[in-house]
Amino acid sequence: MPHRIKWLTEAHYQDPLVNYGSTEFVLQFQDAAEILRKWRNPHLGRSSREGTIIRLANEANKSVELIRDMLLTTELDAKTEEQLIEQLKILTFMMNYTLPEALELVNKDLLLTPEDIMKFIEKHLALMRQELGKGLSMAKTMLSRLNELTDIEIRDQFGRKRRVQQSDVLDVLGKTLGNMIIRQSSLRPVDNIDARPRGKIRKRETYKAAILRSANIPPPTIETEDIRVVDKDRLALIYFIVDVSQSMSKTVFSGGLTRLDGALLTSLGLYYYFNLTNRRKRREFDTFKMHLVPVTEVPYVIDDNKKLERFLFEAEAKGKTRLVHAVNAVMHHVYANYQENDYDVQIIVLTDGRPNVPFKGKIPGRPDKFLVKYFEENASKTKIETRECMLQLNQLFNYLKKSMDRHWEISYFLMAPEKFKNSDLYRDTKVMLGGITKPILIDPTKIDQLGVRIIREAIQE
Amino acid sequence: MMNKTNPKFIEAYLEARESVKEMFGETPENYLVALFLDSGIYDSVLLQTNQAGTPHALISTNELELLQELKNINKIVPNGQDLFLASERPRIYFPASRFELDKEVIKAKLVQLLSMALLAEKTESTFPRLLEQIYKKDAIIKELFANNVFELVKERSAPWAWQYFQDFVASLRLLSLYGIDDFYVPPASMRNTSVFYNFLLEIKGIVKERTQLERKMPLWELTLHGFGTYALRTYLDGLKEEIKVKIKPKLKGNLGQPFGEVGYVFLNWLAEENKGKSVYEIAKGLKNDYELVKHWKRSDTKQRLETYRNQLGDEALQWHRFRNGYWADLWPIRAQNYDRVADLVGKIQRKKINSRLELLMDKPAVIAHGRVKLPDRDVAVFSINEDAIGQEQMIILRNHLLADKGGFIIPLPGLPDIIVFKKFAGMHIAAYLGVKTGTGYPTSPYDLPLVSRAVQVTRRKDAYISEVREDEGKLSQMADYSELKNLTEPQHRAIRYLIKQGEVIQ
């Protein structure tokens, strides 16, 4: 072995193209919330969309250079050579026509949704067909990279950038928010037929059932029949009641977020959660049928998922808070459309807790005497019309809860920061919802803490 | 380890040395043949060296991610190239995957590489000596980087530091190469603040020395590669016809390469005119490429190159094609590269260019266009046609201005807000990058609230539609554009548009 020859392995010579800075990037709940905020505000995600196009152009530029070198220096078989030449032509076309146009459209906010991008790609494929002729399979894959425009850029705690897909984020957000709903939904005992219990086991209720059966504290054993799981298998109707009144446009959170933003973020998260569950069930029908009722002057029901999603992205705050009207509209919608099926109904109210227009028509059921007395005896800063609305809401909710024809569940989300818990309004709302549900306070800017809270409560259970 | 070396390779290597001795009367002695066991690393080293000049040079994360993607996902690596570093101690890099080739092919490749090594050892040019020094500087930077930053990441748990230093070194290297380094004037007190800043200042010094070396470097590639091609072609001519026919198609990366072929033309031409002197002696005496090409008129040169181009075309048709391949498409690419080098020769002849600095400054990739003065801040305008500096790297530069004592303490003063022009094939982009002021405590240099926009620079007026603010963009009306220079009309309009947009977003 001549002395001038040396072997180099990775131990002697580290790969120079190693990325030292890459440590695992964990998608946190806070990141998810940030991304939703970006979708709500097209200005925020904009520079990253332009960045995507610049990156694609940069890559195309370098690719052209390397492919040319490769064709001239490296031994290739005829097929690879042909492919590379095709790629070269497509890249040149993209750099000359496609990417400049894409950048211009992004600047004018005309290339936002996957549909826009799809149309754009179709158009350019047609152009390429005219220019380059057949064999455009390569072009399709390359143009499909433009779909990255819908990805959003987020930063980790050190500010380093990562791009994430919409679906990744929504899974995280939806799962966490969905847990809160599940905690409020109905339970069922496990059948003996079940080979193993499916669904989320509720430990406290299971324990209670075991005590009742064995009449011992602590119960000596826990049998299969004691186990209580969340009943998710029944088909259920979901009604989001989203408060879009003027009071929701008030900026309460840091970072310029309004209450409306909070409500829409939360409902988006929940919407994606139910969508996800529907997908995972693999049934012929969707387990959860979703509706949305905006709190407007004349409440109406949106029952098309596409329109619903669009509404959540585009809603604006205006008008008064006719919460009772909206709940009433839900009731009528259910009775009018699902008279013959006893589907469960889950009403999800997202509001700032300030209803201010009492309902003029007839409300079924009777007012709760205890609540009337409570309002009379306790001085509070809550406005009179709000109190009246609360009485009506309580009456309506109670009626629904007690009705025998089907199972009604109510979740009440309050968009406010943590300090709202000290206010009279929060106390009143809590009393109003007594025996029906518990209000859940949501602060989107502290949404990571929300995740922590959920985990903590789950452990305590 | 050693017994992994293919006996075929050793044989070919020893025979190649013999052939070189026969051809030129001596062999190179002080060189290194580095064999890469993992040819993946060879690919990386090849890409990196083509990008940054030496195998140890740090490249910015921008380039790094790009090359990683092209290598690992798109699998576009021109690994038929032989990597040769003509430093004072010449370095030949060879991947183990080449052992599969026939012995004759390996031998031919080694004859070329060893001849180039011989020239690098014996030449009168300063090129190899300077390259060796640059190589060492890069190795020092890399060592400093690896040791210090590793400690920093471990002790302070700051994973951004890797990226920061890579970007810092790469951006600084590029900017100071083009003479734009007045932005980095560190206060002397910084050195005592922490090891971190001390390291930054140390690196800055070394990078500056490195760029000074690079600016001194003569243009010598034509001579070097021309000599390599001369050696290979002479060697091939001495072979029997049947062996030649067998190995020539396998030498795709060695024959017909534009730098080599054009250099070869001139070396032969010089040998024709200086009867009695061998090509080797002529090549040894050349200090730079201008000395190689200065002896002839433009018209003669053009004609000579054109004739050789046709000859090369015929040869490419004959040797470098596949039965079903697209040779008709391949020759134009080769010809285009050849023409580019021929144009370079023209430039060298006309402008009497003999150093790398002169070539760089003839059409610089990085230009500073001056500043736009706004009432509350400055916006610096640049053209940067280089892969090294992207948005991430701009943040680094931008950060150096924010010597915000309360928050993340930035060591050096730097740039104000920036507008950068960049050209790709059909695109001319203007990008604005700014930082919002008055925000909280950043945890790293990357963790800053950014304002950035990009627009295509075009003659069409409807491209610049901007949203008007309620105060009708008072700031942008008060902007002073008088200090800008060397800009076209569309570029001016893009700057105005971006400044207005920056205001809208802020």
What would the pLDDT profile of A65-106 be if each residue is shown by its tens digit? 999 999 888 888 878 888 888 888 899 898 888 998 888 888
Nearest in space to B106 (alpha carbons), one of B31, B8, B173, B40: B8
Residue A227 pLDDT greater than 70, yes or no? yes
Rounded average pLDDT over A370-382? 85
**C-alpha to C-alpha distance for A6 and B198, rounded to whole angstroms:** 36
- Collapsed DSSP state (helix, strand, coil) of residue B435: strand
**B interface mutation test: which of A14, A17, A56 has the most B CBs within 10 A?**
A17
Is the model's pLDDT at A262 over the cut of 50?
Answer: yes
CA-based nearest residue in chain B for residue A5: B33
pLDDT band at B402 (very low <50, low <70, confident <90, very high): very low
- Number of CB atoms found within 10 A of residue A386's CB: 21
Per-residue pLDDT band for B401 (boundaries 50, 70, 90) equals very low
pLDDT of A444 > 80? The answer is no
How far apart, in whole angstroms, are the C-alpha atoms of residue B95 and residue B323?
28
**Is the predicted pLDDT of residue B449 greater than 60, yes or no?**
yes
Confidence bin at B352 (pLDDT 50/70/90): very high
ω into residue B128 within 30 of 0, thus cis? Answer: no
DSSP annotation of B355: B
Q: Alpha helices, DSSP H only, in A185-322? A: 203-214, 259-281, 305-314
Q: Which helix (H) or strand (E) holds A20?
A: none
What pLDDT score does B376 carry? 74
More confident residue, A109 or B274: B274
Give the tokens for residue B230. Answer: 């001369």
Q: Among the listed ranges A237-246, A269-278, A382-391, B52-61, which one has the minimum average pLDDT value? A: A269-278
Asked if pLDDT for residue A25 goes beyond 60, the answer is: no
Q: Which residue of A has its CA nearest to B425?
A: A95
Residue B188 has pLDDT above 70, yes or no: no
Between A283 and B276, where is the model more confident?
A: B276
Tell me the one-letter amino acid at A170: L
Q: How many CB pairs under 8 A join A and B?
A: 226
Least confident of A347-356, B70-79, B179-188: B179-188
With an 8 Å Cβ cutoff, is A1 touching chain B? yes
pLDDT at B372: 86
**Amino acid letter, residue A271:** Y
Interface test with B, best of A62, A108, A148 (most B CBs within 10 A): A62
Alpha helices in A156-289 (DSSP H): 166-184, 203-214, 259-281
- pLDDT tens string B69-90: 899 888 899 988 899 999 999 9
Confidence check: pLDDT of A460 > 50: no
Q: What's the pLDDT at A198?
A: 62
Lowest mean pLDDT among A150-159, A181-190, B286-295: A181-190
Residue B153 pLDDT > 80, yes or no? Answer: no
pLDDT, average across residues B134-156: 83
- Model confidence band, residue B199 (pLDDT cutoffs 50, 70, 90): confident
- 40-59 of B, contacting A, C-beta below 8 A: 40-41, 44-45, 47-48, 55-56, 59
- Are A54 and B454 inside 8 Å of each other by CB? yes
Q: Helix, strand, or coil here: A113?
A: coil
A297's CB contacts (< 8 A; 6+ apart) are A319, A320, A322
Encoded tokens for B81:
């190239």
How far A315 CA sits from the closest chain B CA (Å)?
21
A43 vs A265 pLDDT, higher one: A265
Search chain A and give the residue with CA nearest B66: A59
Q: What is the pLDDT of residue B407?
A: 39
pLDDT of residue B408: 41
Q: What is the mean pLDDT of chain B?
A: 82
Taking a C-beta distance cutoff of 8 angstroms, is the pair A95, A57 a contact?
yes
Query: A28: distance to nearest CA of chain B, Å?
Result: 16
Put simply, the chain A residues between 10 and 29 with a CB less than 8 A from any chain B CB are 10, 13, 15-17, 19-21, 23
Which amino acid belongs to residue A395? Answer: Q
Burial class (CB in 10 A: 0-12, 13-18, 19+), A167: exposed
What ipTM score was computed for the predicted complex, to two decimals? 0.90
**How high is the pLDDT of residue B121?**
93
Overall average pLDDT of the A205-229 stretch: 82
Q: How far apart are CA A262 and CA A33, in angstroms?
A: 10
Share of chain B above pLDDT 90, in %: 36
Alpha-helix runs per DSSP H in A338-436 = 369-377, 384-402, 424-432
A86: helix, coil or strand?
Answer: helix
Burial of A231 (0-12, 13-18, 19+ CB in 10 A): middle
Q: How far is it, in rounded angstroms, from Cα A277 to Cα A288?
A: 8
Q: Sorting pLDDT into bands at 50, 70 and 90, what band is A346?
A: confident
| Domains annotated on chain A, with CATH | 29-154 (no CATH), 187-229 (no CATH), 233-460 (3.40.50)
Least confident of A295-309, A447-461, B57-71: A447-461
- Cα(B104)–Cα(B11) distance, integer angstroms: 10
> Per DSSP, what are the bridge partners of residue A164?
A152
What span, in angstroms and rounded, lies between the C-alpha atoms of B309 and B340?
12
Q: Which residues of B328-366 are buried (b: 16+ CB within 10 A; e: fewer)?
A: ebbbebbbebbeebbebbeebbeeebbbbbbbbeeebbb
CA-CA distance, A95 to A80, in Å (whole number)?
Answer: 22
pLDDT tens, position by position, A230-247: 665 567 888 989 888 887
- Position B474 scores a pLDDT of 59
Q: Under 8 Å CB-to-CB from A5, ≥6 apart: which residues?
A: B5, B13, B33, B35
What's the CA gap between B52 and A266, in Å, rounded?
49
Question: Looking at per-residue confidence, does A308 or B437 come out higher?
Answer: A308
Q: Which residue has the higher pLDDT, A357 or B402?
A: A357
Chain A residues closer than 8 Å to B79 by CB: 74
Chain centroid to Cα B112, Å, comes to 23
The H-or-E segment that residue A29 falls in is: helix A29-40
- Please judge whether B159 and A21 are an interchain contact, meaning their C-beta atoms are less than 8 angstroms apart: yes
**Residues paired with A155 in a beta bridge:** A161
φ, ψ of residue A3 to 5 degrees: the values are -70, -15
Q: Which amino acid is at A11?
A: A
Q: Are A16 and B45 within 8 A, CB to CB?
A: yes
The encoded tokens of residue A369 equal: 């005497």
Task: Answer whether B391 sits within 8 Å of A54, measured CB to CB.
Answer: yes
Are residues B68 and A19, on separate chains, in Cβ contact within 8 Å?
Answer: yes
Residue A366 pLDDT greater than 90, yes or no: no
Q: What is the pLDDT of residue A299?
A: 85
CA distances from B439 to A221, B407, B419 (A): 58, 9, 22
Q: Is residue A217 scored above 70 in pLDDT?
A: yes
Residue B426: predicted pLDDT: 75
Question: What pLDDT, on a 0 to 100 scale, did the predictor assign at position B268?
Answer: 93
> Beta strand A344-351 with A439-442: parallel, antiparallel or unpaired?
unpaired
pLDDT band at B441 (very low <50, low <70, confident <90, very high): low
Residue B253 predicted with pLDDT over 90: no
Mean pLDDT of A422-448: 79
pLDDT of residue B184: 57
Across A130-134, A138-142, A336-340, B232-236, the highest mean pLDDT is recorded for B232-236
Backbone angles phi and psi of B289, in degrees to 5: -70, -25
| pLDDT at site A451 | 42
- Tell me what the mean pLDDT of segment B334-338 comes to: 90
Nearest CA in chain B to A84: B76
Band of pLDDT at residue B310, cut at 50, 70 and 90? very high
pLDDT the model gives residue A445: 57
Q: Which two tokens stand for residue B498?
A: 């971006």
> For A71-85, A163-177, B474-488, which range has the lowest pLDDT when averaged over its residues?
A163-177
- What's the token pair of residue B437? 């002021």
Model confidence at A305: pLDDT above 90: no
Residue B332 Cα to chain centre, angstroms: 24
Residues in chain B: 506
Residue B416 clears pLDDT 80, i.e. is over it = no
Contact B374, B381 (CB under 8 A): no
Closest CA to B289 of B380, B351, B223: B223
Give residues 150 to 169 of A whose Cβ lies within 8 Å of B. Answer: 155, 157-161
> What is the reported pLDDT for A1?
57
HSE, CB side, 13 Å, CA atoms: give it for residue B133.
16
Is pLDDT at B233 greater than 90 in this prediction? yes
The answer to whether residue B465 scores a pLDDT higher than 80 is no
Please, which contacts does B353-358 make with residues 24 or more away whose CB atoms are closer than 8 Å? B353/B219, B353/B290, B354/B218, B354/B219, B354/B287, B354/B288, B354/B289, B354/B290, B354/B291, B355/B215, B355/B216, B355/B217, B355/B218, B355/B219, B355/B288, B356/B214, B356/B215, B356/B217, B356/B218, B356/B219, B357/B215, B357/B216, B357/B217
Chain B segment 449-488 residues within 8 A of A by beta carbon are: 450-456, 458, 463, 465
Higher-confidence position of A442 and A86? A86
In contact, A46 and B453? CB cutoff 8 Å: yes
How does the average pLDDT of chain A come out, rounded? 77
* Separation between Cα atoms, residue B324 and residue A78, nearest integer Å: 6
Q: Where are the domains of chain B?
A: 1-122, 130-217, 219-357, 365-506
Residue B485: is it exposed, middle or buried by C-beta count within 10 angstroms (0-12/13-18/19+)?
Answer: exposed
B250 reaches A (C-beta below 8 A): yes
Contact A57 B163 (CB under 8 A): no
Q: Is the pLDDT of residue B134 over 90?
A: yes
pLDDT at B382: 85
User: Computed from CA positions of residues B373, B375, B378, B379, in that sequence, does the dihedral angle turn out positive or negative?
Assistant: negative
